[in-house]
């Protein structure tokens, strides 16, 4: 099975060598690894260039990006700058961040899972982060694959229309896949370590605001989003984070922002979310 890895990176000089070394040690290497330098102002480009000259399967693509780190649209646009440079089709497409490390058998283990289940469309490992800047903590649920480590089966990637250039891209891709009958899973025993805690680069409050906007654009049911907002008030920046997410969702509704998914996908999302919410309230989880 062949796979191509695409890594949009911006100002990752602190961590990019760790990621590169992890990839070089893989028991099954990718056919190509395209690292898209998205307007970095540090030494990211020179570091990647050095490794690209030593390894012919590593390719550097320089993109004139904004000096400001942008989640959502900016990340996806950088991803496609790499994707469009591929000169052949691969069995799997990987979106990988440039601030992660993983064991030598990381990709071999995940590819084995795809081989075992033809309906597995999107997968990744169990993502660990340091929310307290000291202790590695698993911050992945089995039924969601975090945006910094996604592997797409080529057929699934095509079916969902690729990645949406917007906040919520790493959620709507999974909802579309699920609505079409594909399976999604994070394999929690296959570990990957994320060195920059989610939201740290753009600011925690801004991260919650972006999540509210992304939730609206994905078609989240209002009741589910409000319940999620209440739960998120227990996470930093505490109270204000959940409030910011809910307020952003409401503001997006007033603005009538464009939905990322077709009506049948939105209906699937809301039906699934309400079943989960009812299950939580009743103490008896309801399955699809």
Residues 138 and 211 in one domain: no
Rounded Cα gap, residues 150 and 173, in angstroms: 10
Residues 79 and 171 in one domain: yes
Residues 266 and 184 in one domain: no
Residues 190 and 257 in one domain: no
- Collect all residues with Cβ–Cβ distance below 8 Å to 231 and sequence separation of at least 6: 242
Residues 90 and 225 in one domain: no
CB 149 within 8 A of CB 100: yes
Residues 253 and 155 in one domain: no
Residues 213 and 176 in one domain: no
CATH number of domain containing 112: 3.90.550.10
pLDDT of the chain, 288 residues: tens digit per residue? 899 999 999 999 999 999 999 999 999 999 999 999 999 999 999 999 999 999 999 999 999 866 555 567 899 999 999 999 999 999 999 999 999 999 999 999 999 999 999 999 999 999 999 988 889 999 999 999 999 999 999 999 999 999 999 888 999 999 999 999 999 999 999 999 999 876 554 466 777 888 888 899 899 999 999 998 888 787 766 788 889 999 999 999 999 888 888 899 999 999 999 998 988 777 765 444
- pTM above the 0.95 mark? no
Q: What is 88-141 written as a DSSP string? A: S--SEEEEE-SSEEE-TTHHHHHHHHHHH-TTEEEEEEEEEE-TTSSS-EE---
Count of domains observed in the chain: 2
Residues 40 and 166 in one domain: yes
Q: Indicate whether 146 belongs to any domain.
A: yes
Residues 7 and 143 in one domain: yes
Sign of CA pseudo-dihedral 274, 276, 280, 285: positive
Q: Pull the structure tokens for residue 207.
A: 């991260």
Q: Provide the CB-side half-sphere exposure for 268 (13 A, CA).
A: 16
The domain of 243 spans 204-282
């Amino acid at each position: 099975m062949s796979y191509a890895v695409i890594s949009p990176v911006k100002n990752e000089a602190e961590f990019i060598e760790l990621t590169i070394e992890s990839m070089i040690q893989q028991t099954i290497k990718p056919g190509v690894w395209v690292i898209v330098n998205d307007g970095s102002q540090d030494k990211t480009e020179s570091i990647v260039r050095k490794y690209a000259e030593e390894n012919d399967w590593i390719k550097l693509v320089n993109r004139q990006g904004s000096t400001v780190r942008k989640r959502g649209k900016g990340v996806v646009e950088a991803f496609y700058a790499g994707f469009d440079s591929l000169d052949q089709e691969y069995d799997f497409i990987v979106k990988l961040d440039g601030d992660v490390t993983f064991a030598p058998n990381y990709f071999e283990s995940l590819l084995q899972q795809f081989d075992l289940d033809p309906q597995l469309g999107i997968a990744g490992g169990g993502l660990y982060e340091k929310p307290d800047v000291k202790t590695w903590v698993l911050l992945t649920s089995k039924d969601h694959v975090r945006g910094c480590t996604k592997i797409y089966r080529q057929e699934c990637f095509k079916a969902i229309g690729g990645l949406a250039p917007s906040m919520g891209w790493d959620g709507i891709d999974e909802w579309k896949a699920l609505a079409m009958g594909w399976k999604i899973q994070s394999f929690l025993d296959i570990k990957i370590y994320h060195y920059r805690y989610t939201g740290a680069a753009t600011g925690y409050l801004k991260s919650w605001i972006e999540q509210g906007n992304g939730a609206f654009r994905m078609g989240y049911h209002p009741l589910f989003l409000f319940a999620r907002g209440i739960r998120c008030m227990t996470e930093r920046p505490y109270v204000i984070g959940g409030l910011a997410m809910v307020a952003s969702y409401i503001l997006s509704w007033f603005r009538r922002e464009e939905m990322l998914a077709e009506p049948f996908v939105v209906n699937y999302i809301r039906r699934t979310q309400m079943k989960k919410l009812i299950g939580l309230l009743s103490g008896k989880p309801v399955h699809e």
